[in-house]
Amino acid sequence: MEQDREKKSLDFIRTIIEEDIKNGKHGGRVATRFPPEPNGYLHIGHAKSICLNFGAAREYGGTCNLRFDDTNPTKEDTEYVQSIIKDVRWLGFEWDDRLYYTSDYFGQLYEYAIKLIENGKAYVDSLTTEEIREYRGTLSEPGRESPYRDRSPEENLELFRGMKEGKFGEGEHVLRAKVDMTSGNLNMRDPVMYRILKQHHHRTGDEWSIYPMYDFAHGQSDSIEEITHSLCTLEFEDHRPLYDWFINALEIYPPRQIEFAKLKLSYTLLSKRKLMQLVSEGHVTGWDDPRMPTISALRRRGYTPGSIRNFCDTIGVTKQDSTIDASLLEHSVRDDLNKTASRVMAVLNPLKVVITNYPDDTTEEMDAINNPEDESMGTRKVPFSKELYIERDDFMEDPPKKFFRLAPGREVRLRYAYFITCTEVIKDDEGNVTELRCTYDPETKGGNSPDGRKVKATLHWVSARHSLSAEVRLYDRLFTEAEPESDKEGRPFTDFLNPDSLTVLSNTKLEPSLREAKPGVNYQFERLGYFYTDPEDSAQGKPVFNRTVTLRDTWAKVRQK
RNA sequence: UGGGCCGUCGUCUAAUGGUAGGACCCUGGCCUUUGACGCCAGUAGUGGAGGUUCGAGCCCUCCCGGCCCAGCCA
């Protein structure tokens, strides 16, 4: 039978790569690169590109370089370099000694520019920024040639050298490619190759007073590194003819650029500028605020590298503009954590329960399973005593039909402990329930009744005397709208910030084993969700928990109806 | 309105010109010491009109809709 022969369907990029390998292009070599600009933190959209570039290289026995596209010293910083290195590693990828910077190529790029000048394919333009814009034309009208377009190579050379040597001020001149001012593709209307920027660069210091534009640097950098497949996002499709023009004019190694759609995720933003704004305006506490879609924030929230890689696998790679449902990301992390996270009992919104027929000073150690999905994770002891806490939501004095948790006169199971029956409801002057009195059935120790009687609900609980209080942060979506950036009435995305994106709980009651919880560990609080000990704010014996994601909650859906 | 790209279930994504499949979401049901997980089932799609063909999601034409480009940003 051929049933087991799995038919894999490749995305269009991998299809091209396999085709190239089959045809012996580049001698079967596969070389990709991930080329971030160090001007912000990486986000989940970058993860898609990272997984594609590093993933494809890995799959086809190739290499993937990490290269920082650092051609604009006014926006870039080593802080971002460091965070990017950390994030790519954390995602599980390695570049060995292939860590590069476009700034490594400034010398070579300068030589390339000289060559184009000598060949009459580049010229120094002395128009102002505004004039260049006017001369460029519009989407529907062709541009006009600059009056400086026909300077001689000798004059251009001298001017360009002068630019390099710092003889001119910022904005006085630029170097432009002599392509075609009438092209329908605006990128071909004599694009700027170099501008004067008397700025300190995070790597080259004050060595340069001119810096190449991205368009004059990116393609050649790929060429220098002999990248076989230059993968980038759709908006650069229009730039490809220009890159090819440069490569052609320079007669250097030609990489093949292939464009794919960048990731969009519902209920969040993935624009570096706007993420920066969220940080600078204080809507979040930083780039790694767990509500952010950055890699560092997802990590701090408790997302695992595997869950993100799996997410990227699931969403695929195409050229179609699309928005992935946030629930798919949530599914990825639940799926991963379900198999690996230790279960533990934690009461977030405590309601006191006194077991009236239980001895005052007795403590029993109940056996609890750490992970029903993985027996090798073993068991632990959880103390049980007369006074307990249960979740407020697990009791209703006047329950609707479909509520089958605790209610007056009703019997439920306390997980790994006993069946209890609610006998009395205690309230304060305002009628708020403050305490429950229950009886337990000693025969049901461990959670089973010898007479075989069933209960409909199993509740989590924590022994009051043994409980630990800890700060627990409940995170929710940052925005209330699926597409905060595209409001019909043009309202800014900041109008749609979710006021309930963060709830901090301090009056929580956790099982005592959590006292020793180390920072940076994933747990499942049974029946509630996955939580992660905050790596920054947790201290010895004083963990702080971030909610990664809730468990799926069927009852919440029923209740809403 | 110049140039480039893209239209398949609600959302993503598959389908040598030959039965439109999978995932997420959703809805039922089973199971359950997590209303979780798991399992079973269900709902639901080729933007439109022509054409080629025995046969079109796929090829051709036109139309409609969406995205990107007018930085000395990347």
Contacts of A111 (CB under 8 A, 6+ apart): none
Q: CA–C1' distance A455–B5 (Å)?
A: 59
Q: Which of residues 112-151 of A touch strand B (CB under 7 A)?
A: 127-129, 132-133, 136, 138-140
Residue A552 CB in 7 A reach of strand B = yes
Residue A403 CB in 7 A reach of strand B = yes
Residue A214 CB in 7 A reach of strand B = yes
Q: CA–C1' distance A316–B24 (Å)?
A: 13
Residue A357 CB in 7 A reach of strand B = no
Q: CA–C1' distance A335–B40 (Å)?
A: 20
Tens digits of per-residue pLDDT, A442-462?
Answer: 999 999 999 999 999 999 999
Using left for φ > 0, alpha for ψ between -120 and 50, and beta otherwise, residue A490 falls in left
Q: CA–C1' distance A326–B20 (Å)?
A: 26
Half-sphere exposure at residue A231, Cβ-oriented, CA atoms within 13 angstroms? 31
Residue A416 CB in 7 A reach of strand B = yes
* Cα distance between residue A401 and residue A387, in whole Å: 29
Q: CA–C1' distance A48–B34 (Å)?
A: 33
Q: CA–C1' distance A235–B35 (Å)?
A: 46
Separation in Å, CA A57 to CA A13, A31, A37, A404: 12, 6, 21, 53
Q: H helices of A370-412, where? A: none
The residues with which A379 forms a beta bridge, in sequence order, are A369
Cα torsion for A26, A27, A29, A30, to the nearest 10°?
A: 50
Q: What angle do CA A151, A224, A219 make, to 5 degrees?
A: 60
Residue A69 CB in 7 A reach of strand B = yes
Q: Which of residues 495-514 of A touch strand B (CB under 7 A)?
A: none
* Structure letter (DSSP) for residue A107: H
Report helix angle A106-118 to A153-164, nearest 10.
160
Q: CA–C1' distance A326–B48 (Å)?
A: 32
Q: Which nucleotide is nearest to A416 (CA to C1')?
A: B33
Closest residue (Cα, C1') to B34: A527
DSSP collapsed to 3 states, A218-278: HHHHHHHCCCCEEEEEHHHHHHHHHHHHHHHHHCCCCCEEEEECCCCECCCCCCHHHHHHH
H or E stretch at A164: helix A153-164
Residue A559 CB in 7 A reach of strand B = no
Residue A174 CB in 7 A reach of strand B = yes
Q: Which nucleotide is nearest to A444 (CA to C1')?
A: B33
Tens digits of per-residue pLDDT, A376-414?
Answer: 999 999 999 999 999 999 999 999 999 999 999 999 999
Q: Three-state SS for A196?
A: strand
Low-confidence ranges of chain A (pLDDT < 70): 1-7, 561
Q: Which of residues 228-257 of A touch strand B (CB under 7 A)?
A: 234-239
**Count of residues making up chain A:** 561
pLDDT for the residue A487: 84
Residue A354 CB in 7 A reach of strand B = no
Q: Which nucleotide is nearest to A368 (CA to C1')?
A: B33
Closest residue (Cα, C1') to B24: A328
pLDDT for the residue A7: 57
Query: Which nucleotides in chain B have some atom under 7 angstroms from a protein Cβ?
Result: 1-8, 10-15, 23-27, 33-38, 66-74
Residue A195 CB in 7 A reach of strand B = yes
Residue A447 CB in 7 A reach of strand B = yes
Q: Which nucleotide is nearest to A459 (CA to C1')?
A: B34
Q: Which nucleotide is nearest to A184 (CA to C1')?
A: B3
* Cα distance between residue A497 and residue A514, in whole Å: 33
Reported ipTM: the value is 0.96
Q: H helices of A39-128, where? A: 44-59, 78-90, 106-118
Closest residue (Cα, C1') to B38: A373
DSSP codes joined into one string, A307-355:
HHHHHHHHH---SS---B-HHHHHHHHHHHHHHHPEEE-EESSEEEEEE
* Cα distance between residue A371 and residue A248, in whole Å: 60
Q: CA–C1' distance A233–B51 (Å)?
A: 35
Q: Residue A507: how many CB atoms within 10 A of its CB?
A: 12
Q: CA–C1' distance A452–B40 (Å)?
A: 27
Q: Which nucleotide is nearest to A314 (CA to C1')?
A: B23
* Cα distance between residue A496 and residue A482, in whole Å: 10
